[in-house]
Amino acid sequence: MHRLAGLVDLEHYPLQQLESETGRTLIDSVRARLTEQGCAVLPGFIQPDKCAELTDETGSIADQAYFKEEVVNVYNQDPFQHYADDHPGRHQMVRGNAFVARDQIPEQQVVQRLYGDESFKQFLSHCFSVPKLYELADPLSGLCINVLKPGKQHPWHFDTNEFTVSLLTQSAEAGGSFQFVPNVRDADNENLASVDAVLTGEGEQQITTLDLRPGDLQLFKGRYALHRVSEVKGDRRRLTTIFAYSQQPGLMGTAERSRQLFGRYLPVHRETQAFDRLMD
């Protein structure tokens, strides 16, 4: 029996038989969506009877999340620093989400088991059309839980890692929609005009909105796609587990980004350099 049997819906997502007809059809479909939109959602990836366990586990540690509401720009930087008048970095937003870091998530939790599972990583590498995916070496940001309380939102931003995989474990009563615009920039060009168009509402027609359900797995190329989570409404917080992978082994976050997201950084973060030339 496959080690993820009972957790993952292996009938529809055959991690144990990727070369089967069902497996090849699935991978081809995911690749097409990632190529076209930079995003693919796998509904019901987690078995329905396991969703409650996931909600309980992530909910049990959600109060440990580091929270500091900050005024930021789209690059998660201080918008009050010097920018030209027409630069999108001048656009101010309030970041209200909180994070539980990897070293706060108990090893026995389901999300820890899933993150490091070799068949899961192999499946993801096929989907992203890369030879191999590595877990981030970062002891804080490789695996984390994103917590959005009612009245809070995660404003427009880019991810620091190229490949992001997320699993919704608790949805908001209302609001809390994931919104994105694919391919706003690339590794060599910030495309400031395109960023500005989204921030000012002129590019509203480009926005795709997803209403995810607990147990849905999302594959996303967030380094180049502008994205946000809209304001959470009602009495229930929104919980998402984020699995971060890279094509390069040993990738770490910077000390400044770690401080911003987790309120702390470790000695290993002091030596980390950005892996591309983009602003964030």
The DSSP secondary structure of 135-153, one letter per residue, reads E---TTTSEEEEEE-TT--
Cβ–Cβ < 8 Å for 112, 143: yes
CATH topology (fold) of 39-103+135-266: Jelly Rolls (2.60.120)
State the amino acid at position 144 in one-letter form: C
* Domain residue spans of the chain: 39-103+135-266
Cβ–Cβ < 8 Å for 61, 143: no
Per-residue pLDDT of the chain (280 residues; tens, 9 = 90+): 688 989 999 999 999 999 999 999 999 999 999 999 999 999 999 999 999 999 999 999 999 999 999 999 999 888 888 888 889 999 999 999 999 999 999 999 999 999 999 999 999 999 999 999 999 889 999 999 999 999 999 999 998 878 889 999 999 999 999 999 999 998 889 999 999 999 998 888 899 999 899 999 999 999 999 999 999 999 999 999 999 998 889 888 888 889 989 999 998 888 766 656 677 6
